[in-house]
Amino acid sequence: MSAPWVELDPTLVVVAAGTTAVGAVSGALGCFAYLRRQGLVGDVVSHSALLGVVGAFVLAHAITGSASRSLAVLVPGALIAGTASLALARSVSNRTRLNDDASLGVMLSIFFGGGLFLLRWVQRQSPPIPGHTGLEDYIFGMAAAMTRADLWMVFSLGGGALLLLFLLWKELKVFTFDPEFSRSLGLPSHRLDLLMMALLVAGVVIGIQTVGVILMIALLVTPAAAARQWTSRLSTMVLLAASFGATAGAGGALLSASEAGLPTGPVVVLLATAIFALSLLLAPRRGLIARARARRALGSTPPPAAGGAV
């Protein structure tokens, strides 16, 4: 088929490269969040990042007098807000009788609500702050707004996170699988926990421009959940999840460029969900079809792949 976008529109190249990288990084990092059952943590980070993004925009405007929506300004804001909400949630659950989920939920509400509030305030300023019109895109994502500088931000932050993942692979693996044993080896569990959080925050922050703070969690968890269906090795799972994320990212950018009016972020997320649904159905051993077949072959006994610890 002949598609007009194949003529390498430079904007599209930037956008597609960005969404692909975002998908790959969040797919890989999402595996650890998935295995540690910290999906909610990722969700809190991304929602909280809205306050950081808008706050950084306001602050940059107040200091420099000119407004900037470049990631170089907004990412530090998102990093600070995301980390702060996690730290606050942790200290609330340590000091009160609220459990982890409840305190995370409270922080999500406070930071996301605060972000929406600040956003509305910015939009009502008169004279209007130049550049503010793009800020609300962070809620649902606006991949098309990605610039070359933004792309470098995504590459450097995402690449840094993946490099750390690679270097500390065996430490992060044993810490995720068996935290008590890893402590007995002398690994600093508190610092590894913080590192995991930092990687998660980095993965979230580089993705929010593309898919927005609300849908970001889908890009973290869905590729990981899909990859888990196909493999029983952590390394394969991470590589697969990265490829699934990258595929969804690239596909989302190209599809939304080919058809006017298709929003990139939601398309990326829907593609990732489609990959997940296919995996859930078709994967050998763990897939629904394979398990139904095995069950029929065994009579009513469930197949061994279905069980964890009893």
Partner 1 sequence: MIHRSSREHSTEPLALDVEGLTVTYGKEPALWNADVRLGRGALAAVVGPNGAGKSTLLKAALGVVPRVSGRVRVLGEDPARRRRLVAYVPQRTSVDWDFPTTVLDVVMMGTYGRLGWFRRPGRNERALALGALEQMELADLAGRQISELSGGQQQRVFLARALVQDAEVYFMDEPFAGVDAVTEQSIASLLGHLAQRGKTILSVHHDLATVPRYFEHAVLLNRAVQAVGTVKEVFHRGNLDRLYGGRVPADVPEFAST
Contacts to partner 1 by CB under 8 A: 35, 167-171, 173-174, 176-178, 180-186, 228, 231-234, 236-237, 304-305, 307-310
**DSSP one-letter code for 128:** P
User: Residue 163 Cβ, how far from partner 1 at the closest point, in Å?
Assistant: 12
Closest CB to partner 1 among residues 84, 294:
294
User: Residue 164 Cβ, how far from partner 1 at the closest point, in Å?
Assistant: 11
User: Residue 98 Cβ, how far from partner 1 at the closest point, in Å?
Assistant: 15
User: Residue 178 Cβ, how far from partner 1 at the closest point, in Å?
Assistant: 5
Closest CB to partner 1 among residues 95, 124:
95
Closest CB to partner 1 among residues 102, 234:
234
Token digits of residue 93: 């659950």
User: Residue 295 Cβ, how far from partner 1 at the closest point, in Å?
Assistant: 16
Closest CB to partner 1 among residues 65, 307:
307
Distance in angstroms (rounded) separating the CA atoms of residues 290 and 298: 12
**DSSP one-letter code for 188:** -
Closest CB to partner 1 among residues 260, 310:
310
CB atoms within 10 A of CB 260: 6
User: Residue 283 Cβ, how far from partner 1 at the closest point, in Å?
Assistant: 12
Is residue 108 within 8 A of residue 47, CB to CB? The reply is yes
**DSSP one-letter code for 37:** T
Closest CB to partner 1 among residues 176, 258:
176
Distance in angstroms (rounded) separating the CA atoms of residues 35 and 233: 12
Of 19, 56, 4, 25, the residue nearest 145 (C-alpha): 19
Closest CB to partner 1 among residues 231, 247:
231
User: Residue 285 Cβ, how far from partner 1 at the closest point, in Å?
Assistant: 9
